[in-house]
Amino acid sequence: MADSGNLTPPGNPPGKKKEISMEARLLLAFVLMGGVLFITQYFNKPKPPAGRKPSAPVAAKQVQAQSPAPIPAAPPSGTPAPAKTARKATPPSVATIAAPDEQAFTIETSLYKIVFSNRGAVVKSWKLKAYKDSAGQLVELVNQATGAAALLPFSYSFPRQKPAVDLNQALFVARQSATGIEFEYSGGSVTARKTFRFQPDSYLSAFRSDVTQGGGPLPHLVTWQGGFGDFSVQNAFGSQHTVYYDASDSKLEVKDAKAAKNGPVNASGTFSFAGIEDNYFAAVFLPPDNGATELVTSSHKISIQPDPKEAAKEELFVGAAVGGSADNQFSLFVGPKDLDLLKRINPKLTQIVDFGWFAFLARPLFLALNWVNDHIVHNYGWSIVLVTVVINLLLLPLRMSSMKSMKKMQLLQPQIAAINEKYKGLGMRDPRKAEQNQEVMALYKKNGVNPMGGCMPMLLQLPFFIAFYKVLSVAIEMRGANWLWVTDLSQPEHLPIRILPVAMIASQFIQQKMTPPAGGDPAQQKMMMFMPLVLGFMFYGVSSGLVLYWFTGNLVGIAQQWLFNRTAHPAVTAPAVTSKKKGAKK
């Protein structure tokens, strides 16, 4: 195992530009589609229309960790690494303490199973018993790829002064007990210890690591490199980050592997916690009393082969190194990002569940889904269906107003066609083009028509769409939740042909055909009919729960449109206008 002492460079390299987030991509796509709906009516010359065409709760919720007991290893001082401890400084010449060979040790509780190696006193495997991966196995939080063998969690990193012995290759003597395990090594002038103390029914444990050389303290960090979390999901490396919460300015910072692509990125301060995470799980160190802590974000290229039929490829995985003292003492949380659980441990920890831009909608939506699941249907798929129906009913007045506006625009097409004929052949820069637009807007205003009416149904769904996306992406309760043939609502369907996206495209076509066209030009209408295909392409690779939300909204929209088409008869006050060619007899 290579020494990790080169994690901290003299300075931080300039960061690269961030990629556009999923929320930004979705927002851009909807804005572009809305622009097509709104703008095309001004650039097409429509002709007068000839006539009208007519379960049981998921496993993630079954395990509730108890409120953690106080960690005896945490010191009362405000720093995570006091300069003086109960242990006496090691004299320059000490007796050798080392194991004869490499050994594995297993710690198992009701919540997890951990495998340690005494070579470097590292963790080789950390499995959570309450959660399964996409293959139905216990979730493994340690990267098991061959290329990650030299990056095992809790390895040492010495950013300032390296010891005379490579402690990541040293064979520690292990002393295992009913509550944990302690590793100790002494050779030459170097002494090192790592201690883990666990609780039987809690994801919270105590960790301590101290190193001395020549009787003096040797500052160091402990690492979790090679990525973290559920490696069975698609693009697992893209959802993994380092994270810390700076208590001095109440700010959460998150960095991915690309932030450290050109070299490690350092951060230090009075942190409430610091560590590594993916969408649903976290491993964070909590210093006592928000003590001074360092966090180094690194990146490592690791060869992986998600599909046996495809060739292995290198991907960039994030790594974290935490500590900075010669005697690092932390409370350690390794487990699910369950809001109730995190709040009991430390209210600041709930910050790692990121609901994104639309948190003001996503949080209430998350609570509503949980309430419906717990009290009514006991299945998150049906909870999404019911909550979607309620949302659409609450938005019904706005939707009805939009439908009326579109109906009026349909009936106004002969007059708009006459206006377009009047200004036929004008270029976009012609000053008279403004007069044409003014006449069209005056016609709309006179008849109480909102030209953005056709975009409203889609725009109204956009915030809820993004909120559902974030809930499904970060709420541990949604992970592994099933519905009918769907095995995991937080992931795309595991079928050769995904049924929900296909059904969504079909429902979108039906709704499009039932909706009164804003323009009468056949070419424009054909172009608009491609919209369902565009949406289908967008939705084919997203989570099943998100597709279920949109599909349910389409079904409700079809019912509302059918009712409206049978009952609504809007009147148009302006008379039809017939354009006259120049030179025609009066």
At residue 570, the pLDDT reads 52
pLDDT in tens, 300-322: 999 887 667 777 788 999 999 99
Neighbouring residues of 379: CB distance < 8 A, sequence distance ≥ 6: 55, 56, 373, 481, 482, 483
CA 330, 333, 337, 342 torsion-angle sign: negative
Residue 224's φ and ψ, nearest 5 degrees, are -130, 95
pLDDT in tens, 523-537: 556 666 677 788 788
Dihedral angle of Cα 340, 344, 349, 351, to the nearest 10 degrees: 40
In 3D, which of 518, 530, 535 has the Cα closest to residue 40?
A: 518
At residue 206, the pLDDT reads 97
At residue 581, the pLDDT reads 43
pLDDT in tens, 233-277: 878 888 999 999 998 888 999 999 999 988 999 999 999 999 999
Q: What does the pLDDT average to over 116-141?
A: 95
**Confidence check: pLDDT of 511 > 50:** yes
Residue 332, H or E segment: strand 327-336
- Residue 39 tokens read as 């703008």
At residue 450, the pLDDT reads 67
**59-64+91-354 placed in CATH 2.60.40.420:** no
What DSSP state is assigned to residue 373? I
Residue 554 near residue 508 (C-beta atoms within 8 A): yes
How far out from the chain centre does Cα 557 lie?
Answer: 28
Strand partners of residue 323? 221, 294
Q: What span, in angstroms and rounded, lies between the C-alpha atoms of 228 and 567?
A: 57
pLDDT in tens, 341-381: 999 999 999 999 999 888 899 999 999 999 999 999 999 99
Query: What number of helices (H) and strands (E) belong to the chain?
Result: 13, 18
Q: What span, in angstroms and rounded, lies between the C-alpha atoms of 583 and 586?
A: 9
Residue 506 near residue 34 (C-beta atoms within 8 A): no
At residue 534, the pLDDT reads 81
Q: Please state, as a whole number, how many other Cβ atoms lie within 10 Å of the Cβ of residue 17.
A: 6
Domain extents for the chain? 59-64+91-354, 372-412+447-567
Q: What span, in angstroms and rounded, lies between the C-alpha atoms of 559 and 540?
A: 24
In 3D, which of 563, 519, 570 has the Cα closest to residue 404?
A: 570
In 3D, which of 156, 207, 198 has the Cα closest to residue 179?
A: 198
**Confidence check: pLDDT of 117 > 90:** yes
**Confidence check: pLDDT of 467 > 80:** yes
This prediction has a pTM of 0.76
How is the chain split among helix, strand and coil, in percent rounded to 5? 35, 25, 40
At residue 500, the pLDDT reads 94
End-to-end CA distance of the chain: 96
**How many degrees, rounded to 5, is the angle at CA 578 between CA 572 and CA 581?**
160
